[in-house]
Structures are given as C-alpha cells and as structure tokens.
Structure 1
Amino acid sequence: MTGYVIIIERDDAGGFSAWAPDLPGVAAAAATYDECVTLMREAVAFHLESLREHGETIPEPTAVGALTVGAA
C-alpha cells in the first residue's frame, strides 16, 4: 500500500477542507493548511482502525497522486 491521496481545497472563508477519494466520508476542515493535513492524517487513521475493529475490508488505495495544473 502506498497510502491514500487526499484532496485539499481552500474554502470561501479562507480556511481549508480535505477529503479522501478512496475513503468516502473521511473529511476534515481547519483554519490552516497544515492543521487540515494533520486532521486528515488522524481521520484516515481513525477510519482504518474502525474498519479493522469491525472486521470490515480495508479498501486498497486506487488514486496514485494529485497534480495542480494551470489554466490553458
């Protein structure tokens, strides 16, 4: 497993929100980018731990990366 990709977006209020394409429902929001990343690391870990505790299948990561590109 290489890890799960997270998508981080700036919100209208100037903070940040994030979500994981391979883990529906796992999301976080924070005032700063770094705090958002930290919260997502914790959310992913908590989610995977919960799946293990309940004997559910851990999804394999399918996203291989994220890239920011400029407009043409």
Structure 2
Amino acid sequence: MKLKVIVHPAEEGGFWAEVPAIQGCATQGDTMEELLKNLHEAVEACLSVDLEQIELSGNDRVLDLAV
C-alpha cells in the first residue's frame, strides 16, 4: 500500500506530517528519520482494529485486504 504524506516544518524545529487519506493520522519527529519511523507507527495504529470490540455474527467473515 502506498499513501501520500504531507510533511511540514514544525515551528519549534523538526517536522510534522499528516496522512490525508486517514482522518486524524498525524505525527512528528525531530529529524526526517525519526519522522519516517513515527509515520509507520502512526499509520499502523490508525489502521489497526481490535476485533474483540466488534460484534460479529456467525455469518460474518473477517478478511485481510492488501491494497
């Protein structure tokens, strides 16, 4: 999966970034390397789903979709 990310310089130094395709998904880093690491973690967290909190009936199926 490829996502577009918008990287902004932070006023206090470093960078912050947002992922427009995932509402509310944003992070920051002091360096570009730290920002990229944090982006991977943020996207994973924003897209993670805790199936234990979702009610599934006997006819429902859970699929993993690679895009």
TM-score (norm 2): 0.66
* Structure 2: 5+ residue stretches without partners: 55-66
Structure 1 stretches of 4+ with a deviation exceeding 4 A read none
Alignment of structure 1 residues 1-72 onto 2, 5 Å: 2-50=1-49, 53=51
Give the counterpart letter for 1:7 in structure 2.
I
Deviation of 1:38 (Å): 0.8
Deviation of 1:37 (Å): 1.1
- Cα distance in 2, alignment partners of residues 46 and 14 from structure 1: 25
TM-score (norm 1): 0.62
Deviations 1:38-62, CA, capped at 9 Å, x for gaps: 1011110111113x6366xxxxx8x
Q: Which has the higher contact order (CA 8 A, sep 6+)?
A: 1
Alignment RMSD: 2.0
Give the counterpart letter for 2:13 in structure 1.
G
| SS of structure 1 residue aligned to 2:48 | helix
Size of the aligned set, in residue pairs, is 54
Give the counterpart letter for 1:5 in structure 2.
K
